Structure 1
Amino acid sequence: MGLTEQLFGSNAEKFSQCVENKIAELSERHKDFLSEGKIDLSTSYMITFGQSGSGRVGFGRTQDISPEIDLEIDRILTECAEKHLQKL
């Protein structure tokens, strides 16, 4: 069982779909900029769990793209998580 399934349980697929759909919309809005830099937003984020043993769930970007896009990715991850995260 992967981290996403552990954290989101039966909502893991809904969470993943939420993120994928919103990242696809973001990619479409910024397609000219992204194609210039050959940037794939689907690989621009990750889910982390427990930095230094804290047990906290976090989201991080694997790369900085632009202040506007970075902010949008952070917002998408947070909104989808809040909507689908199981009560732990």
Structure 2
Amino acid sequence: MPEIRFQVELPDGSQTTCYSPSLVVKDYFSAGQEYALNEFIERSRTALIIASDRVQAKYGRPCGLALGQLQDIEAWATQYRHVDQPKVKLMQFIE
């Protein structure tokens, strides 16, 4: 299963790299595109759950790394809830 990483710029200008065990994230994000924080969380949730389900279908168990990445995204997103109209920019895919 091809894995992928995607680099994002957070609302405070810092950057982080996220992981997916599947290229499905490319169906939900575009490089260079900005997303409202809530939209980014929802798209991430959908894509990473699909990715984890694909791992489960192939290997018999969900992908802990994908589910862990989702937990990380949800955790760091809470620190930007106070920001007026927070945005997350998907900088690039790293294949």
TM-score (norm 2): 0.32
Compare the two structures and name the one with the higher helix fraction: 1
TM-score (norm 1): 0.34
Compare the two structures and name the one with the higher strand fraction: 2
Q: Which has the higher contact order (CA 8 A, sep 6+)?
A: 2
